[in-house]
Amino acid sequence: MSNSTRFDLSVIIPARNEAALIGRTLDAVLASIADLHTFDPHTNVEVFVIDDASSDQTREIVYRYTEHHGVRLLVCKHSKAASARNIGVRVTSGRVLVFVDADTLMAPHTLRAIKQHCDVQGHQAGITRLVSLEGGLRAWAWWTFWEHVRRLPVPRAKAMPALMFCTRDAFEQFGPFDENVRIGEEWPILARVYHAHPHLFIYDRTIPAQTSSRRMELQPWGYARTLLKYVWAILHVSGRIEYTDRLRHTSHHGKEPT
């Protein structure tokens, strides 16, 4: 664990070449912490960015948040998102683990709601509603479709880790993230919690998380191609292993911390 301090919540952010968005992601996390502290000033929250050897300005931007806001940074090499999340769990100490992708903006009330779910209502894991960061009709249709898919009473429908959470106890019982795959790496946690204790899993659609649609927007026929990749992943394990995602928004200037 990171130190002797026991935290209530640990926010874990895997990142690789995310200079275009990491500042906005961290701003959203800090705003949610401020909202939480308005209602519960004694809640301890730590924020950890796990950087996979970024070659852009990602680390420089995060260092500014380290200096001004106490965000912590760990640099590793050749870690897929699943590996980075698992590393994040090992170096943090929160009772509740919140995983947010570096291209995803949480709503201000997110951490307050998650703490309520875990500490008051007794949920072990959950996901939030995902909406497009970029906007547009195709992106709206895409995320609306997945919103309905994720509502299905099927364990593997509880998917997409852009913003998810679980208790540390649930992670230790059902985890870790599957480091051998690139799609469905969250299934050991989300699907297994839902399968074993469906009443302890929550899909909170009142928490909107703005997540990037870049993997669809930045390639020809991106929505159709991505949907086919997901179908392949569901039908055969090879589709979960061979999927690659190297698309990134370009940025020449990192956002200064507020």
Is the residue at 4 inside a domain? no
Residue 21 lies in a domain: yes
Helix, strand, coil content of the chain in percent (nearest 5):
45, 20, 35
Q: Could you report the per-residue pLDDT of 142-167, keeping only the tens digit for each? A: 999 999 999 999 999 999 999 999 99
Rounded-to-integer distance, Cα 56 and Cα 77, Å: 14
If you search the block for the tokens 């998650």, which residue do you land on? 114
Mean pLDDT of 60-86: 93
Tokens found for residue 192:
């297994």
Alpha-carbon separation of residue 97 from 13, 102, 193 (angstroms): 11, 16, 14
Q: What is the mean pLDDT of residues 225-236?
A: 79
Distance (Å, whole) CA 251 – CA 231: 32
Between 120 and 4, the higher pLDDT residue: 120
Torsion of CA 95, 101, 105, 108, to 10 degrees: 0
Whether residue 247 is contained in a domain is answered as no
Mean pLDDT over each residue of the chain, to the nearest integer: 90
Average pLDDT of 73-101?
Answer: 94
Lowest mean pLDDT among 70-74, 80-84, 206-210: 80-84
Q: Sign of dihedral through CA atoms 221, 223, 224, 227?
A: positive
The β-bridge partners of 167 are 96
The average pLDDT across 90-94 equals: 96
Give the pLDDT confidence of 31-71 residue by residue, as tens digits.
999 999 999 999 999 999 999 989 999 999 999 999 999 99
Is 120 inside a domain boundary?
A: yes
| Band of residue 77 on the pLDDT scale cut at 50, 70, 90 | confident
pLDDT of residue 240: 65
Entry pTM: 0.90
Task: State yes or no: pLDDT of 242 exceeds 80.
Answer: no
Range of the domain at 44: 9-241
Q: What is the CATH number of the domain that holds 226?
A: 3.90.550.10
Q: State the total domains in the chain.
A: 1
DSSP per-residue letters across 10-75 = EEEEEESS-TTTHHHHHHHHHHHHHHHHHH-TT--EEEEEEEE--SSSHHHHHHHHHHHH--EEEE
Model pLDDT for residues 94-110, shown as the tens digit of each residue: 999 999 999 999 999 99
DSSP class of residue 155? G
Domain contains 49:
yes
**Proportion of the chain above pLDDT 70, given as a percent:** 90
Confidence at residue 252, expressed as pLDDT on a 0 to 100 scale: 41
pLDDT at 84 over 60: yes
Domain membership of residue 256 (yes or no) is: no
174-192 average pLDDT score = 94
Top-confidence residue, 35 or 248: 35
Segment 193-218 mean pLDDT: 93
Q: Is residue 25 part of a domain?
A: yes
Q: Please report whether residue 167 resides in a domain.
A: yes
Between residues 113 and 182, the one the model is more confident about: 113
